[in-house]
């Protein structure tokens, strides 16, 4: 009998992991600006090897300090989801504990993965809800003393500052993530006043569909109509380019953004995905 060996993944595993990700249907991958295998080489990426075969993998690299999103969980038919998770999660918890602990988070897009998380005592923190805008409401495109322009790479440190001040740490983006977001965007805008960048949005497209991937206004500048103005400007640009629909995701308990989107004509689509977290403690 071939024994299963759990070990950290490394760059040499790339081809075998690509095959696993490509061929296996039991795949959870975090929707993100980079593919899960681009995290190879980072800490918190493990594989299970049976002889010459990689039969399962788990990656939850830390993007922001202490926050480890599950970017990849995949297993072949050799395993049940529960058994593959059990061997990888044991190794993961031990390494994370030794490295100082972290909050491990995952968005469950499939019921089989949700079952694994629930049976491993992950807690349901909130849901991600999907909304869509499909018409042109009347929105002010101005906010006093604020102007908008396209985001450029040199803005990224300021954009990170706004991002990290606005969002809960679980949702912080790093500069590298925001650089990729900018590179993949259809439109990316910054809002500035006399102090510099105070807000931003990033919108992507796929075929005829546009998606508002990120929107934030610095807490010191909120409730002055800046997000409304940024979105008013975005709606006009989308219309000029022929996009008639814009989707967005937000957290079910983010009442501020839900109010904003409702006011601007977005409607819930009914799609929702639960967010689970598990606090792996540091060694006492």
Q: Which residues bind to ligand COA, rule: CB under 6 A?
A: 166-167, 215-217, 222-228, 250, 254-257, 259-260, 263
**Min separation Cβ 101 and ligand COA, Å:** 26
- Pairwise CA distance, residues 125 & 143, whole Å: 34
**Min separation Cβ 84 and ligand COA, Å:** 32
274: left (phi over 0), alpha (psi -120 to 50) or beta: beta
17 vs 264 by CB, closer to ligand COA = 264
- Pairwise CA distance, residues 38 & 159, whole Å: 23
**Min separation Cβ 276 and ligand COA, Å:** 19
106: left (phi over 0), alpha (psi -120 to 50) or beta: beta
Q: How far is CA 119 from CA 55, 77, 235, in A?
A: 22, 20, 43
69 vs 79 by CB, closer to ligand COA = 69
Among candidate residues 174, 245, 257, 163, the one with its CA nearest the CA of residue 201: 163
Contact between 275 and 104 (Cβ < 8 Å): no
Among candidate residues 142, 156, 147, 127, the one with its CA nearest the CA of residue 254: 127
- Pairwise CA distance, residues 118 & 106, whole Å: 11
**Min separation Cβ 284 and ligand COA, Å:** 34
105 vs 116 by CB, closer to ligand COA = 105
93 vs 224 by CB, closer to ligand COA = 224
Close Cβ partners of 70 (under 8 Å, ≥ 6 residues apart):
28, 30, 58, 59, 60, 104, 105, 106
6 vs 130 by CB, closer to ligand COA = 130
Helix (H, G, I), strand (E, B) or coil at 231: helix
156 vs 260 by CB, closer to ligand COA = 260
What is the dihedral angle through the alpha carbons of 126, 268, 212, 222, rounded to the nearest 10 degrees? -70
35 vs 254 by CB, closer to ligand COA = 254
- Pairwise CA distance, residues 256 & 261, whole Å: 9
**Min separation Cβ 208 and ligand COA, Å:** 22
**Min separation Cβ 37 and ligand COA, Å:** 26
**Min separation Cβ 168 and ligand COA, Å:** 8
**Min separation Cβ 254 and ligand COA, Å:** 5
100 vs 219 by CB, closer to ligand COA = 219
């Amino acid at each position: 009998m071939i024994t299963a060996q759990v070990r950290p993944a490394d760059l040499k595993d790339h081809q075998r992991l690509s095959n696993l990700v490509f061929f296996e249907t039991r795949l959870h991958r975090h929707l993100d600006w980079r593919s899960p295998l681009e995290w190879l080489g980072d800490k918190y990426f493990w594989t299970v090897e049976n002889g010459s075969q990689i039969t399962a993998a788990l990656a939850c690299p830390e993007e922001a300090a202490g926050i480890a999103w599950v970017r990849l969980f995949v297993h072949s038919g050799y395993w049940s989801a529960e058994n593959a998770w059990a061997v990888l999660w044991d190794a993961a918890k031990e390494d994370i504990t030794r490295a100082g602990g972290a909050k491990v988070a995952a968005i469950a897009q499939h019921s089989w993965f949700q079952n694994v998380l629930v049976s491993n005592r992950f807690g349901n923190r909130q849901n991600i809800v999907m909304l869509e805008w499909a018409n042109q409401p009347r929105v002010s495109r101005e906010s006093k003393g604020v102007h908008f322009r396209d985001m450029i790479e040199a803005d990224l440190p300021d954009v990170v500052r706004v991002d990290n001040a606005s969002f809960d740490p679980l949702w912080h983006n790093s500069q590298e993530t925001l650089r990729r977001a900018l590179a993949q965007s259809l439109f990316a805008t910054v809002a500035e006043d006399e102090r510099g960048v105070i807000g931003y949005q990033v919108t992507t497209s796929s075929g005829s569909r546009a998606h508002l991937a990120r929107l934030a206004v610095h807490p010191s500048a909120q409730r002055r109509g800046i997000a409304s103005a940024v979105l008013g400007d975005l709606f006009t640009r989308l219309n000029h380019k022929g996009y008639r629909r814009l989707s967005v995701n937000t957290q079910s308990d983010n009442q501020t953004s839900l109010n904003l989107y409702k006011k601007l004509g977005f409607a819930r689509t009914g799609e929702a995905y639960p967010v689970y977290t598990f606090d792996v403690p540091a060694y006492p």
